[in-house]
Amino acid sequence: MNNPETGNATPIAVVVLAAGQGTRMNSDLPKPLHKLGGVPLIAHALAAAGSLTPARIIVVTGHGADAVEKTAADLAPWAECVRQHEQLGTGHAVLQAAPLLTDFSGDLIVLYADTPFITPETLAAMQAARARHDIVVLGFEAADPGRYGRLILDGERLLRIVEAKDASAAERAVTLCNSGLMAGDAATMLRLLGAVGNHNAAGEYYLTDLPALAMREGLTATAILCPEEETLGINSRAELAQAEIAFQTARRADMQASGVAMQAPETVIFAQDTWVGRDAEIEAHVVFGPGVTVESGARIRAFSHLEGCHVSAGAVIGPYARLRPGAEIGNDARIGNFVEVKEAQIGEGAKVNHLSYIGDAEIGDGSNIGAGTITCNYDGVMKHRTVIGRDVFVGSNTMLVAPVSLGDQSMTASGSVITEDVAPGTLALARAKQVNKPGLAIRLMERLRAIKAGKKG
């Protein structure tokens, strides 16, 4: 399938490697599905891929393929998946994409599903370097080169990459390392990959053999460098936790740079796709799950949790509010403490200020929902909608048993259990009538005290 939005002079096919087992995560969940910034690791790689407006994205899956393919399809519906049934190495993994690219002419760029911090600028720099060299490898100066592949350069030319396991002592002393990302003409790379063998310490087909193979054919390879932070790969839970800290630190700085006010930025958790407008204010200890947009000038008060929702300008959320997927909060609306909103549209200036659950509902402009109101949306099998008009006054502790509607400017008496539609302008009272018994409270207490005293004696 082709990307409908592709716009490059040289078409690009991105191959995302996601087949590895990720043994060091010690998890049943495939590594590409572990979350960073509220979304699976592979979402970060797909977002980086997307910045290239590629003609094709091919995800190579293997370990946990069904789950990884499902997530990839959700995140990038036109991406293709191909299975690597045995994980025989990075070169073998890229080669699995070859049958899908027989008619493709353009560049191939290899990304890893477990390397989430690659920036669009770095990918653009790799593309730019392609003008001068047949193969471009992304490298970095490693503080601790350890198990990384080493880049053996002669001036600008990359002669070869040697894996740590196969390196001589002199080669291991090289600190310029391979990030794993590589770009080149697709047909050339796939042809060269056909010549890669597995006679090495790991017994694997190494993608990293390509620069040396290219040289033998009179082609050239080079390396461009990026900061080590960008090439950070996730191999263990400790590394994932470190990556989350790095991710949050960067997102908070981005938010501040784009004009978002935060009292205690170190306590605010963002997701990969959180969007917050200029002059919005976020108080301490707010958590953003995926899919949240907050317009300019809205205020998210302390200890609120938001996911899959939209908050319009001037609205105030929290403290202690929970907005779940499908919550759409209108301009200047108020969602107060211990209020949960799910799959519901809250109209302009409407107020749900205390201790309420609003789910599968629509609340018109200017309506006021009293404390403790519940939309009883679930009958144990199906969900039903509650539709509330404009300028409605819902009394405290009203149960709205859906499906039900309240017309414009209607009211409910507090404590009502509303099971039938209420017409516009109507007051609905749906509770037992009060009966007062003068003196009975005192007589009752006297009797109870006498019983208690009798038991002691």
**Residues known to be catalytic:** 354
Q: From Ca ion, ligand UD1, none, which one binds at residue 207 (CB under 5 to 8 Å depending on kind)? A: ligand UD1
Closer CB to ligand UD1, 31 or 285, in the complex: 31
Q: From ligand UD1, Ca ion, none, which one binds at residue 206 (CB under 5 to 8 Å depending on kind)? A: ligand UD1
If we measure between CA atoms, which residue out of 224, 208, 55, 217 comes closest to residue 132? 224
Q: Are the C-beta atoms of residues 96 and 84 closer than 8 Å to each other? A: yes
Minimum CB distance to ligand UD1, residue 182 (Å): 9
Cβ neighbours around 249 below 10 Å, total = 12
Interface with Ca ion includes 239 (CB under 5 A)? no
The stretch near Ca ion (CB under 5 A) out of 225-233, 249-257, 429-437, 440-448 is 225-233
Long-range CB pairs of 382-385, under 8 A, 24+ apart, other chains included: 383/359, 384/360, 385/360, 385/361
Using CA atoms, how far apart are residues 48 and 40, in angstroms rounded to an integer?
A: 13
Using CA atoms, how far apart are residues 433 and 150, in angstroms rounded to an integer?
A: 83
Sign of CA dihedral 144, 146, 147, 149: positive
Burial 256-283 (b: 16+ CB within 10 A, else e): eeeebebeebebbbbbbbbbbbeebbbb
Using CA atoms, how far apart are residues 376 and 358, in angstroms rounded to an integer?
A: 9
Closer CB to Ca ion, 233 or 297, in the complex: 233
Closer CB to Ca ion, 164 or 261, in the complex: 164
At residue 376, the 3 state secondary structure works out as strand
Q: From ligand UD1, Ca ion, none, which one binds at residue 89 (CB under 5 to 8 Å depending on kind)? A: ligand UD1
Minimum CB distance to ligand UD1, residue 404 (Å): 52
Minimum CB distance to ligand UD1, residue 193 (Å): 12
Q: Which of 233, 319, 326, 403 binds Ca ion (CB under 5 A)?
A: 233
Q: Are the C-beta atoms of residues 81 and 99 closer than 8 Å to each other? A: no
Minimum CB distance to ligand UD1, residue 179 (Å): 6
Q: From Ca ion, ligand UD1, none, which one binds at residue 178 (CB under 5 to 8 Å depending on kind)? A: ligand UD1
Q: From Ca ion, ligand UD1, none, which one binds at residue 330 (CB under 5 to 8 Å depending on kind)? A: none
- The 8-class DSSP code of residue 424 comes to T
Interface with Ca ion includes 236 (CB under 5 A)? no
Q: From Ca ion, ligand UD1, none, which one binds at residue 163 (CB under 5 to 8 Å depending on kind)? A: ligand UD1
Q: Read off the amino acid at residue 218.
A: G
- Quote the Cα angle for 166-196-61, to 5°: 95
Minimum CB distance to ligand UD1, residue 62 (Å): 6
Burial 188-213 (b: 16+ CB within 10 A, else e): bbbebbeebeeebeeebbbbbbbbbb
Using CA atoms, how far apart are residues 271 and 259, in angstroms rounded to an integer?
A: 18
Minimum CB distance to ligand UD1, residue 149 (Å): 2
Q: From ligand UD1, Ca ion, none, which one binds at residue 247 (CB under 5 to 8 Å depending on kind)? A: none
Length of the chain: 457
Closer CB to ligand UD1, 233 or 308, in the complex: 233
Q: Is 37 exposed, middle or buried (0-12, 13-18, 19+ CB in 10 A)?
A: buried
Interface with Ca ion includes 142 (CB under 5 A)? no
Q: Is 27 exposed, middle or buried (0-12, 13-18, 19+ CB in 10 A)?
A: middle
Closer CB to Ca ion, 233 or 308, in the complex: 233
Closer CB to Ca ion, 233 or 326, in the complex: 233
Binding site for ligand UD1 (CB under 6 A): 17-20, 60, 62, 84, 87-90, 92-93, 112-114, 148-149, 161, 163, 177-180, 206-208, 233
Closer CB to ligand UD1, 235 or 248, in the complex: 235
Minimum CB distance to Ca ion, residue 13 (Å): 22
The stretch near Ca ion (CB under 5 A) out of 205-213, 227-235, 317-325, 421-429 is 227-235
Minimum CB distance to ligand UD1, residue 173 (Å): 16
Closer CB to ligand UD1, 67 or 417, in the complex: 67
Q: From Ca ion, ligand UD1, none, which one binds at residue 356 (CB under 5 to 8 Å depending on kind)? A: none
Q: Which residue has the closest beta carbon to Ca ion?
A: 233
Q: Are the C-beta atoms of residues 40 and 83 closer than 8 Å to each other? A: no
What are the DSSP calls for 258-282, one per residue?
TT-EESSGGG-B--TT-EE-TT-EE
- Contacts with Ca ion, residue ranges (CB under 5 A): 233
